[in-house]
Amino acid sequence: MYKKGVAGPLFDWLRMLYDGMSYVVRMGSAFSASFRSTVGILAGDSGSPGFWNFFASDLVFVPHPEDISIGGRRVMNIEQADDGAMFSGPLGLQAHLDVYGPWSSRKGLLVNIPKTKAMAFGKLPSTLPVFTILGRPIEWTNEHKYLGVTFTSSRADIFSQHYTEKEKSARRTANVTFTLQKYFGDLPPREGVLIYKSRIDPHLTFGAEVAVDVASSGPHLLENVQVAYLRRLLSVQKRSMRVIVFTETGILPLPYRRIMFALRYLRRILHLGEQRIPVWCLEANVDLWLMGKPCWLGDIVIVLRRLGFSETELSLESLLNPEHVDMLINAVPEKGREWVLTQVSASSRLQLMDDRWERLTSGQRSSDPLIFRSYLLTRIRDHRIALTRLLTASHGLGVERGRWVKIRNSSIHVPRAFRLCRLCRDDVEDEMHVLFVCTDGELDQLRVAFLAEVWKRFPALRHASSTPISLFHTLLSYPDLVPRLARFVFDACQVVEKTPMYLHPGTT
């Protein structure tokens, strides 16, 4: 710090700060006694990173002809606190190691040799050179983790193993979450969504700023974890449509969420000063773009094009405009909503989700397809699951189970018109038929009792709907009626499932 011209009051302040440095440990509502800490920097202090920069500011490498150049600037090393990386050719890298080893010894730092690895990108030489630091050899590897991101040098996609590692971490956390149900019971969807956002989503999005999802295999691993967790949270079957986990929880599909991290990082780079490595990397990306070669910016365009953005929105000029990048960031969730609406509208299985709306706590209506559904707050688990499965076509009624039954000696599935009600056999056994149409005596008793209670509490609803599905949507929009509706759905499904599914003679 003396070499940088720092003296006087700042040193007095530092001595005062570190002389009085003490810590308290908190666990729940209990606090430990204060204790002194005389080793290391003050953790969490905003000045500590700057002190480290001063400490390491005299690390100077001698430029070598084999050093790499980014955006016309020579980059020999990067440092993130005590995690460092160096880049060069065989001779240049050894020259830098010969500088780094003595410097670390002089500064009182210990180089962790077992954790220090060498990697080669691009065409391999016939014989790999032997690198040493402080006289000790460095091991070669084709896979290494730096700052939480796993890099691979033996595959075309250098982030391929990173996807695998993050998929394992996210799946492990998801499995542990549901294992704990044995100890605390039901995991309500609202709390499950909070756990997803705080414990699982960070794994699924880690490194998304630089690992743009141009390949399909790696991102698909992460998407499977997201869908599997939300399906299990909602207690719906594996055959359910993937889109329903988003329409019910309000979670944004992972491809849309991950590309937003890359766009936000691009926006941040556009606001940085010129003498920053990310800015140089962006300049190098522009050069690669103009030469028609693959680059990070080009990968962002590929992903955005898949998500429905037009070519005019993805020009080089627009991507280098911070205001336009802001527009893209805001537009990505809307593209996600458009995808959800398209999936729901195109599916004959999700008719109960089409044209529905949600009543907000303010009393206003919302037709947002990505919103946490209030019916998921139903306290009785079995009732909530029955209603969820009915809405998401994950139930055991004939209209759904018939999709998986094939006509004898044929690969054709049972046509919808042949999936008749097992109780009355008058019509297709679908959701609205069972709840409001079927003439079975036990179902009719449940229906009469349920509607009598509804008309008594809300007389205006008696003539508010002209079709069973509009009545169902209306009932679902009243928070005070949802628990009773969920109970009715549960009871009705119980009655139906007591009888084996009807198989039409023409299909067996």
Which tens digit of pLDDT belongs to each residue from 368-411? Answer: 999 999 999 999 999 999 999 999 999 999 999 888 887 777 77
> Mean pLDDT in the chain?
91
State yes or no: pLDDT of 42 exceeds 80: no
Q: In terms of Cα–Cα distance, which of 348, 340, 292 is closest to 316? A: 292
pLDDT band at 3 (very low <50, low <70, confident <90, very high): low
Give the separation between CA 410 and CA 183, rounded to whole angstroms: 47
Q: For residue range 437-463, what is the model confidence (pLDDT) as tens digits?
A: 999 999 999 999 999 999 999 998 888
Average pLDDT rounded to a whole number, residues 102-131? 91
* Cβ atoms of residues 434 and 496 within 8 Å: yes
Domains of the chain, by residue range, sit at 9-56, 68-141, 150-337, 395-507
Q: For residue range 485-495, what is the model confidence (pLDDT) as tens digits?
A: 999 999 999 99
Give the separation between CA 393 and CA 240, rounded to whole angstroms: 7
Average pLDDT rounded to a whole number, residues 71-96? 90
Give the separation between CA 68 and CA 63, rounded to whole angstroms: 10
Q: For residue range 219-278, what is the model confidence (pLDDT) as tens digits?
A: 999 999 999 999 999 999 999 999 999 999 999 999 999 999 999 999 999 999 778 899
State yes or no: pLDDT of 320 exceeds 80: yes
Q: For residue range 43-69, what is the model confidence (pLDDT) as tens digits?
A: 666 667 777 787 888 889 999 999 999
Alpha-carbon dihedral sign for residues 193, 195, 198, 204: negative
- pLDDT of 253 reads 98
- pLDDT of 132 reads 95
- pLDDT of 45 reads 66
Q: In terms of Cα–Cα distance, which of 377, 348, 341, 356 is closest to 479? A: 377
For the beta carbon of residue 6, count every other beta carbon within 10 angstroms.
12
Average pLDDT rounded to a whole number, residues 72-89? 88
Give the separation between CA 344 and CA 351, rounded to whole angstroms: 8
- pLDDT of 24 reads 86
- pLDDT of 48 reads 73
94-125 in b/e form (b: 16+ CB < 10 A) is bbbbebbbeebeeeeeebeeeebebbeeeeee
- pLDDT of 208 reads 96
Angle, CA of 406, 411 and 416, to the nearest 5°:
45
